[in-house]
Structure 1
Amino acid sequence: MPGRLGRRNATRDPRRTAVTATALMVAVALLAGISTVFVSATASVGRLVGDRMRADLVISGDADGVSRTGFDPAVLTVVAGAPGVQAVTGLGEGAAVIDGRPAFVETVTDVPALRDMLGLTAAAGTIGALADDQILVDQRNVTAQGPHVGDRVTVRLPRGEARQFTLAGVYTDTDLLNGWLLPASAAGGFRKPQPTQAYVRLTPGTDVAATKLLVAAVLAGSPEVSVNNRAEYIAQRNAKADRLLTVVQLLLALAVVIAVLGIVNTVALSVLERTRELGLLRAVGLRRAQTMAMTAVEATAVSVGGALLGILTGAGLGAATVHALAAQGVTQLTVPVGRLAAYLALAAVAGITASLLPAARAARLSVLHAIAHE
């Protein structure tokens, strides 16, 4: 009976209940939507690496703003000679101006190895070893006007004069690379001519963990450069997204707190308006514990109802956003069911917590004074 009374009290003033639940719904919808987008993005990275990348180890410098820390090119030679290493390719990175437009380019020490380890396929031309005056590009950077295979493009790097490169091939889009690829001989034009990343492929049957320790020993003099296996590489790429999601969740938690205070206010007002009714209920046998339970059900119905609508709305908006971001590489829609269930459970706890003060006041009402209340 207390539960039935609590549910009916929650719908007694639909307008006020709806306004109160809407504040929580908006906050939870933002949480659910952002969580869906971020979880889908991290799942897309995992799927991309799992499907396309055939490297067993990845060497990379720590990101310092827009670029990574470089390391000694001799590391590539030492690692290539290690037991069980089948192929090694290093990448440098930097800014450039290509045909008058700003661009981000990378240099590659071994294009065939990179092609095999990242699963690159040619959309035009060939994806092979580059001469000193050749360049590769992905489909995203090719328009109807060009450049086309065989065309000459003008590349200006931060150091040195502008140079002409011939487009040797166009590879299909991949989020593992940034677009333009230059031969390693062009790295001297960067502000940081050292490689910043490298992919290592091992022969079948080689102990990945043991080889990782060997490579880490080679990198002992470069504490800002790390070597990771595939799983660790995925976690490294998703680390920034995970930190950003945590920050966003903490900020939206403030909105949830404000919404819970609104539930406290609404339930307290409801108790005040029903003072005489509560006295009559107490007079006909409603105990104090039942009075508190009735108030708790009322508050929980408002909070859970708002949270449930927020979860459904947020998940829908998150799915739509993921669909819109397909061109940016977010191709794996993943709904964080466990996290959304946790939001709903927390909403129920918040409803019970919000009812504590109003429920205590309702339970302490004097029956005679409450009946006489006008």
Structure 2
Amino acid sequence: MIRVAWRSMTDNRTRFLLPAIAIVFGVAFVTGSLVYGDTVRAAVEGAPKDFDVQVEQRDNKAMSPATVEQLRGVAGVGGLRPVAEGPTFLVGKDGKLVGTPGSDGGVGFDPQRHKLTSGTAPAGRDEVALDKWAAQRAGYQVGDKMRVVVAGTARDVRLTGVFDYQNTRIVQGGTLVAFADATAREQFAPGSGGYTSALLTAAPGTSQDALATAVATALPDLRTSTADELTGLEASDNDKLTMILLIFAGVALFSSAFLVSNTFTMLAAARAREHALLRAIGAGRRYVLRMVLTEATLLGVAATVVGYLLGVGGAAVLKAQFAVFEGAPVPLRPFTPATVLAAFGVGLGVTLLAAYLPARRAAAIPPIAALRTGLPPTGKSLRRRNITGFVVTAIGTLMVVLGRGEQTMIYLGAPAMLIGLIILTPLLAAGLTSVLRGPLTRFAGLTGTLAVENTRRNPRRTGATASALMIGLSVCAAVTVPIASISAKSAETAKSWNSADIQVEALPFADISPSVADDIAKVPGVEHVTALHQALLPLEKGALQVTGVNAGSISALVPLTIREGSLDQLGTGIAVQSGVAAAHGWTVGSKVGKEKPLTVVATFDAPEEFGADALVDTANIPAGELWTREVLIKAGGSAEKVRDDIRTALDNPVLVVQTRDEYIEAQAAQFDLYLNLLYAMLSVSVLIGAMSVVNTMTMSTMERIREIGLLRAVGLGRSQVGAVLRIESVIIAVIGALAGVVSGCLIGAMTVSGQANTTPVLPWDRLAVFMAITVAIGVAAAFVPARRAVRIPILTAIKTDTE
């Protein structure tokens, strides 16, 4: 049986090529996701852990020296290292940041942890040491001058030493800048003389959990995290990314199943005589079934092996592309048992499941019927299938529509709706071709009529081919609509909540120095400037979130509606949002605050996106207790010139200075980046859908060589034959695209329709691109089959027995 199956595969290797490639892509996607995820997890879990418990203040304030001394006395503490650390960005020689956002940090130099490989430890305020991987990447050597950004401020420093140290941040491509201990405490815990955290090691016989419990009991104002918990949190973030990648891999494999199934279905028709001869010489149905499944097994194994190797290569490229683990001794983990089982499980599983029904049909062919000139067409009615499809589609659609914004309902309803549409694709194909028959006959003449009739000839095959393309385009549309809607809302919000000509924001994970607004105010052409500082004002019960502003400029930069009082006295008082004031029973003249009460001078309303419960002058917020959100600027002249002057004055690579138009465009562009990333992951599924159309057109053309020869014999020219095949291919592709785009748009629209202040937006430009790509796929899919078909001499084609 294996020899027969192997000979059959080698004889039909060109027919098995595209389904094999589809399985290769799907398995490669799965393998690459798992290998990359395992490698990241191994890097995180394998990073050295030189502490057992991390301790911080619950209010995220600095930890005083007195608290550190109290920690030393807690039972079970074997060692303690107070730490002053915070976000620190290393600027390269080209003026760009070095490292990985979110993993770059600064810390006080600790000779026990940071083993110098060259130079000396930093001592002065303008001296630093670098981890060796950062120094290598940036090209810095001991004695070099360089720039770092700390607490939002860029300053020049001198590199005094390079040290060898490895933690999870460095392993993930981050940089570590070490300052003198006093400098680190001044920068990261200003005004307190303390530290940001403390790292504890457990005494012999004390576990991490026991030590954390002892600290929490003795000092309840402190927050404790064990080393294992922190590692688990970082690993879980990686697991989420891996799961997202696997979801897209699943979509690709689902599309592959239709391509495999269609291939075996058409092969069953083409090899009817072969199966009949086996039956005639004594082979039973089970033998034929097992033989076809053996072919599927051989196909699945070969494709899985190739896909596995391709996936490992892809993971290696990702590892290098994102500079993760650079310099760290963390190799790829390509052959873990779970990854091998998963890859072969999905590769073989999808292939065998997709081939099972065609194999059963092949085994059910009676010898006498199969010995006829061709495989008799199935007389099985589509009535039961259509009823099932209608019911499943209706249930899924109802869940999606009624779920409006309720994610669980949509997540359950969307797959049901797509499955129902897949079941209905033969009916959809028949209906759409009936609609297209008239226009195509009118504009394309005989070629249009022939193309329509060919697609109607086998609705099951047409539907299965269209389904593979439908799946990918449906998911594309389903993610496009929500992101386009949120992008439009974000751009609208950016226009309405302030009237600034220029805005300054920090890069992700970076800060804005509280003094930036003062520096900007000195730039010529700046009329008004205010930073938006976030802080908490303690109340008798709880706290009030306040926004620190420039009292003299805020009205010129944010459209505030004053309900009561005036902002004239905001410099010494507080203005409260009207809803917040009503909730607390405050009016103009009320005292707000616990330690240093401020008088309410006004109540106001503002755009919701402004996000301020109360306004105070920045001078009334104690230093070190505020966080700067952004800076708003009103220019007196050309906004572009003032923007350039501000950039020059600040000279800070973590600050993004933009005009109003640039800011609005950037808000929309950030979503385009996410969308393009999703398209990249979905491109595999769409490509497999396109391959399904190519496969169907290739194999169906081979089945119809005699028919094409007869058409040419009665006067149909080569160009007309090519046109018939191209139109037929485009019809199949358009059926899948329409079903996919319409269903995806419905799912996407319902996903955002229940969200507050967000209206579904249909991005017609992108949807038009989807349809244009579909037509291009249809035209391209017919190119090679048409070229081969018309090159066969007419008499040879007529004599060909392709069935």
Do these two structures clear the TM 0.5 threshold for a shared fold by scoring above it?
A: yes
2:550 alignment partner in structure 1: 110
Matched-pair contact (CA < 8 Å) for 2:549–2:615? no
CA distance in 1, matches of 2:459, 2:537: 61
How many correspondences in the alignment? 351
CA distance in 1, matches of 2:765, 2:540: 49
2:641 pairs, out of 202, 207, 210, with 210
2:609 alignment partner in structure 1: 175
CA distance in 2, matches of 1:153, 1:315: 50
Matched-pair contact (CA < 8 Å) for 1:32–1:340? yes
2:517 alignment partner in structure 1: 76
2:559 alignment partner in structure 1: 119
Query: TM-score scaled to structure 1, two decimals?
Result: 0.76
- Larger of the two Rg values belongs to structure: 2
Cα deviation, 1:68-94, whole Å, max 9, x if unaligned, reads: 422251x32343355543322112347
1:350 alignment partner in structure 2: 777
Question: What's the secondary structure of 2:512's corresponding residue?
Answer: coil
Q: Which amino acid aligns with 2:772?
A: A
2:673 alignment partner in structure 1: 243
Matched-pair contact (CA < 8 Å) for 1:117–1:199? yes
Q: Which amino acid aligns with 1:354?
A: A
- The reply on whether 1:92 has 2:533 as its aligned counterpart is yes
The answer to which of 42-51 and 166-175 deviates more is 166-175
Structure 1 residues 125 and 300 mapped into 2: Cα distance closer, same or farther (>3 Å)? Answer: same
1:198 pairs, out of 607, 627, 631, with 631
Structure 1 residues 29 and 120 mapped into 2: Cα distance closer, same or farther (>3 Å)? Answer: farther
The answer to which of 284-293 and 223-232 deviates more is 284-293
Structure 1 residues 172 and 269 mapped into 2: Cα distance closer, same or farther (>3 Å)? Answer: same
2:7 alignment partner in structure 1: none
RMSD: 3.8
- The reply on whether 1:4 has 2:449 as its aligned counterpart is yes
Structure 1: gaps (5+ residues):
156-161
1:58 alignment partner in structure 2: 503
Quote the offset at 1:350 in angstroms. Answer: 0.7
Matched-pair contact (CA < 8 Å) for 1:292–1:360? yes
Q: Which amino acid aligns with 1:71?
A: S
Quote the offset at 1:120 in angstroms. Answer: 3.5
Quote the offset at 1:231 in angstroms. Answer: 0.8
CA distance in 2, matches of 1:98, 1:307: 59
Matched-pair contact (CA < 8 Å) for 2:530–2:632? yes
Alignment of 1:1-374 (within 5 A): 1-64=446-509, 68-71=510-513, 73=515, 75-93=516-534, 107-110=547-550, 113-121=553-561, 128=567, 136=576, 146=583, 149=586, 171-172=605-606, 174-177=608-611, 184=618, 185-186=620-621, 188-190=623-625, 193=626, 195-203=628-636, 206-220=637-651, 222-325=652-755, 327=756, 329-331=757-759, 333-372=760-799, 373=801, 374=803
Q: Which amino acid aligns with 1:120?
A: L
Quote the offset at 1:138 in angstroms. Answer: 8.7
Quote the offset at 1:318 in angstroms. Answer: 3.5
Quote the offset at 1:352 in angstroms. Answer: 1.4
Question: What's the secondary structure of 2:657's corresponding residue?
Answer: strand
Structure 1 residues 228 and 16 mapped into 2: Cα distance closer, same or farther (>3 Å)? Answer: same
Structure 2: gaps (5+ residues):
1-445
Question: What's the secondary structure of 2:628's corresponding residue?
Answer: coil
Query: TM-score scaled to structure 2, two decimals?
Result: 0.39
CA distance in 1, matches of 2:635, 2:761: 32
Question: What's the secondary structure of 2:658's corresponding residue?
Answer: strand
Matched-pair contact (CA < 8 Å) for 2:469–2:690? yes
Structure 1 residues 80 and 290 mapped into 2: Cα distance closer, same or farther (>3 Å)? Answer: same
Question: What's the secondary structure of 1:119's corresponding residue?
Answer: coil
CA distance in 1, matches of 2:453, 2:537: 67
Q: Which amino acid aligns with 1:330?
A: T
Cα deviation, 1:115-143, whole Å, max 9, x if unaligned, reads: 55232346x7778466889685696xx7x
CA distance in 1, matches of 2:566, 2:709: 84
Question: What's the secondary structure of 2:679's corresponding residue?
Answer: helix
CA distance in 2, matches of 1:252, 1:290: 35
CA distance in 1, matches of 2:657, 2:673: 21
Question: What's the secondary structure of 2:457's corresponding residue?
Answer: coil
Question: What's the secondary structure of 2:632's corresponding residue?
Answer: strand
Q: Which amino acid aligns with 2:520?
A: V
Q: Which amino acid aligns with 1:109?
A: V
Matched-pair contact (CA < 8 Å) for 1:107–1:187? no
Structure 1 residues 138 and 345 mapped into 2: Cα distance closer, same or farther (>3 Å)? Answer: farther
Cα deviation, 1:145-188, whole Å, max 9, x if unaligned, reads: x5554799999xxxxxx999999857455224376766634464
The answer to which of 268-277 and 4-13 deviates more is 268-277
CA distance in 2, matches of 1:358, 1:30: 29
Structure 1 residues 163 and 368 mapped into 2: Cα distance closer, same or farther (>3 Å)? Answer: farther
Structure 1 residues 293 and 153 mapped into 2: Cα distance closer, same or farther (>3 Å)? Answer: farther
The answer to which of 179-188 and 313-322 deviates more is 179-188
Matched-pair contact (CA < 8 Å) for 1:111–1:127? no
Cα deviation, 1:202-258, whole Å, max 9, x if unaligned, reads: 35xx322232233223212x2222321101111333342121011011112211101
Structure 1 residues 346 and 371 mapped into 2: Cα distance closer, same or farther (>3 Å)? Answer: same
Structure 1 residues 369 and 97 mapped into 2: Cα distance closer, same or farther (>3 Å)? Answer: farther
CA distance in 2, matches of 1:249, 1:99: 52
Quote the offset at 1:348 in angstroms. Answer: 0.8
Matched-pair contact (CA < 8 Å) for 1:38–1:241? yes
Matched-pair contact (CA < 8 Å) for 1:89–1:109? yes
Question: What's the secondary structure of 1:11's corresponding residue?
Answer: helix
Q: Which amino acid aligns with 1:300?
A: V
Q: Which amino acid aligns with 1:177?
A: G
CA distance in 1, matches of 2:692, 2:535: 52
Matched-pair contact (CA < 8 Å) for 2:561–2:606? yes
Matched-pair contact (CA < 8 Å) for 2:706–2:797? yes
CA distance in 2, matches of 1:330, 1:370: 60
Q: Which amino acid aligns with 2:711?
A: L
